[in-house]
């Protein structure tokens, strides 16, 4: 009997290239996961269009934006995750910290991708072009992308996989961003697929 696929929610607030790559991969019959919903704290992020194109529900959750009222965000997000029967959450350009209660409920079931070789160039405020600026300023000869589990600290959870690229001389932050995005779009689906496989073989 064919196993049910692991039900994944993407949480994102950005452009949506990783969301798009995750969804594309999931269309393969051999994929261990399916993307059942895209959730955002923003009303009109790029991922909304990605979801629409792929006929996947998009849920705007404004409560996530209200850092004064943590209780409301937990209740709303938990309700959404339960209503879609979510097994795993894949963060993809989601810049806010996930509330502690959700981390506890989804322990070891929340993944994130970061545009550097963690533990280098991670932490609060390290996102997007800022990461690439810092990498170039320090004259690194290589950088890359990391997929990791999410805990209560920014970019500190267990590393699940990384991919390295070389940095060419005179590379601009924008060029680096583009190169790193390309490898992210390959790495994230691979790692999520393998992680989900392992996850259901133990259940």
Active-site residue set: 114
* CB neighbour burial string for 16-32, b if at least 16 within 10 angstroms, e if fewer: bbbbbbbbebbeeeebb
Give the span between the Cα atoms of 77 and 63, in whole angstroms: 8
Nearer to ligand GRF, 75 or 160 (CB): 160
Report the site for ligand GRF in 155-184 (rule: CB under 6 A): 181, 184
Nearest to 47 by CA among 76, 108, 90: 90
- What is the smallest separation between the CB atom of 12 and ligand GRF, expressed in angstroms? 6
Nearer to ligand GRF, 93 or 99 (CB): 93
Q: Which stretch binds ligand GRF (CB under 6 A): 54-62, 79-87, 110-118, 194-202?
A: 110-118
Q: Which stretch binds ligand GRF (CB under 6 A): 36-44, 64-72, 109-117, 157-165?
A: 109-117
Farthest CA pair distance, the chain:
54
Helix pair 173-201, 129-137: axis angle to 10 deg: 110
- What is the smallest separation between the CB atom of 139 and ligand GRF, expressed in angstroms? 21
Q: Under the criterion CB under 6 A, does residue 17 sit at the interface with ligand GRF?
A: yes
**107: CB partners within 8 A, 6+ apart:** none
Binding site for ligand GRF (CB under 6 A): 12, 14-19, 92-93, 113-115, 181, 184
């Amino acid at each position: 009997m064919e196993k049910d696929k692991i039900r994944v929610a993407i949480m994102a607030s950005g452009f949506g290239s990783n969301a798009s790559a995750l969804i594309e991969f999931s269309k393969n019959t051999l994929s261990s996961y399916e993307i059942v919903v895209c959730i955002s704290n923003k009303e009109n992020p790029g991922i909304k269009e990605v979801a629409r194109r792929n006929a996947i529900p998009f849920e705007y959750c404004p409560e996530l934006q209200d850092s004064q009222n943590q209780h409301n965000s937990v209740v709303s997000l938990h309700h959404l995750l339960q209503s879609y029967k979510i097994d795993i959450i894949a963060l993809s350009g989601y810049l806010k910290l996930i509330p502690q209660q959700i981390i506890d409920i989804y322990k070891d079931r929340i993944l994130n991708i970061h545009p550097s070789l963690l533990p280098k160039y991670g932490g609060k405020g390290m996102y997007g072009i800022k990461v690439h600026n810092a990498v170039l300023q320090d004259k690194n000869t290589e950088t890359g992308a990391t997929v990791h589990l999410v805990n209560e600290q920014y970019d500190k959870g267990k590393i699940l996989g990384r991919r390295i690229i070389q940095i060419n001389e005179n590379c601009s932050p924008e060029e680096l961003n583009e190169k790193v995005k390309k490898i992210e779009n390959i790495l994230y689906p691979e790692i999520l697929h393998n992680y989900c496989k392992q996850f259901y073989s133990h259940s």
